Amino acid sequence: MTFKIKKSTFFLGLGIFLLWIEESLYHNIVTLSEWILPIMVLVGIFLLKEQIKNQKQKKYSISSSLTLSDLNQVISDAKEIINCIVEEDPSQNISNLKIQLQILENNPHLSSFSIGIVGKNNTGKTSLKKLLNQEKYADILEKDIFTSINLDVDVIIFLVNKDLTHSEWEKIKLLHQSYYPCLIVFNKQDQYNNEDRQVILEKIQQQVQSIIHPNNVTRINSVPEKIKNRQYNFDGSTREWIEEDPPNIMSLVHRIKIIEGQNKQQLFLAKNWRTATKIRQQAKIISNQIRYNKAIPIITKYELVAATIVSVNPISSLDFLATAAINTQMIIDLSNIYKQEFTFSQGKVAAITIGKIIVQLGIAELSIHAISSLLKSNMITYILGSLSQGISVAYLTHIVGLSLTEYFQEQGDMVVNCSKIDVTKFSQIINKIFTRTQQGESLQIFVKQTSSKIFTVPTMI
């Protein structure tokens, strides 16, 4: 489209430019311009008309196009995660996921056409559903916008009764990312005059135009509209009465029929893609839980190792304390659980990176101060300054270990041998974990449990 605009503008501009030049040149150019200039102008006009024609005839895709390979990739990913679950924990009962995946693979055709109606309270969802039922659309689901939008439907009708809010726009973008064809419908028009109705409609069209075609933003009346009439008589008297216009949803029905009729292949792919994605997510939750259960004992082991060593051999430097909290072998062990499989040299580089992160973010210093404050309440333990360091390094090991599990989870099985720690991503995760472990009595419980473990270790040895 861009090429055509430039080409047509070029010919028109060139023709006008030469016409201007013609005025200042002598007769030898006049003869040439009599033939060439009209041709150039005509060519430019012709190309401009073709461009406008093509714009009008452009067929709108319901969303970003999906392909069969996109669907097969998600199914393949889900299979791989399920196979990992079977390998890592054969006792897990995932027969339901396997059945769902098998049904999806053996379902080559689109089932009955279904519609989802979403929107805030009092946008007219129930009344619209009844009207669509009268139009022979039987499979319709209603859902509030603020609940989890994960409907097993083919098309979404997004109801609004005024300008789009930020939260509504965010939901629409999420629907688009999940390949739902989305119709934005302005309802409850009786609350506005005719001029305001058109202004609101055009504003909504403008707000969503980056992902939704203006034709898929329409307005309806899902309830009868009361119209006040006034008649002025010749004798100066007036008569007033109320009339009701019946509900009108024909513009919406027209758009639904276009989507249903012209985009069957995309509807089929999108619905199956969402189903496969849901199965993959469910399998991933199970897989993550299995791996988390394996990771926690490893983290706990290295917490105690670090705490015991530092309690016996106190460290003066904050940097050294942070370094002591990050055991290279712990990183390697956790990476193996999550199929990242760091080598020793990779684990060592990762340990140095993480050590710098917790010092730069101030997590090491804040942890020491918080734990020292808790230990002050117990003078016997506070006298043992090395104990404060031991518990602090155990706590740092704890939050580093939890952060690594979440980091590796987000990396996923598909990112194999990603040996470098993403500093920005890991910083965000460890900040979140640190904040979470500071809330409530979490830190107090950790200090109490770790103290008792440190005191029992020497007698065990």
What is the per-residue pLDDT across 278-298, written as a single tens digit (0 to 9) for each? 999 999 999 999 999 999 999
Between CA 99 and CA 103 the distance in angstroms is 6
Cα–Cα distance for residue pair 314/209, rounded to 1 Å: 63
Residues contacting residue 71 through CB under 8 Å, at least 6 positions apart: 269, 272, 273, 276
* Torsion angles phi and psi, residue 200, rounded to 5: -65, -45
- Cβ atoms of 229 and 243 within 8 Å: the answer is yes
- pLDDT for 188: 76
Q: Which residues of the chain have pLDDT under 70?
A: 1-64, 108-111, 146, 148-149, 189-190, 311-325, 377-386, 413-419, 455-461
Q: Return the pLDDT at 263.
A: 80
Q: How many helices (H) and strands (E) does the chain have?
A: 17, 7
Give the model confidence (pLDDT) of 185-227 as tens digits. 998 766 777 788 888 899 999 999 999 999 999 988 887 777 7
Domain spans of the chain, in order of start: 2-57, 68-277, 313-460
Instruction: Please report which helix (H) or strand (E) contains residue 67, including its range.
Output: none
> What six digits make up the tokens of 217?
């933003």
- What pTM does this model have? 0.72
Tokens of 389: 């360091």
How far apart are the C-alpha atoms of 78 and 282, rounded to whole Å? 9
Question: Spelled out in words, what is the top-level CATH class assigned to the domain 68-277?
Answer: alpha beta
Residue 395 and residue 423 in contact, taking contact as beta carbons nearer than 8 Å: no
A 10 A CB-CB count for 305 gives: 18
**CB count in 10 Å sphere of residue 113:** 17
pLDDT of residue 111: 66
pLDDT for 375 equals: 75
The reported pLDDT for the residue numbered 278 is 93
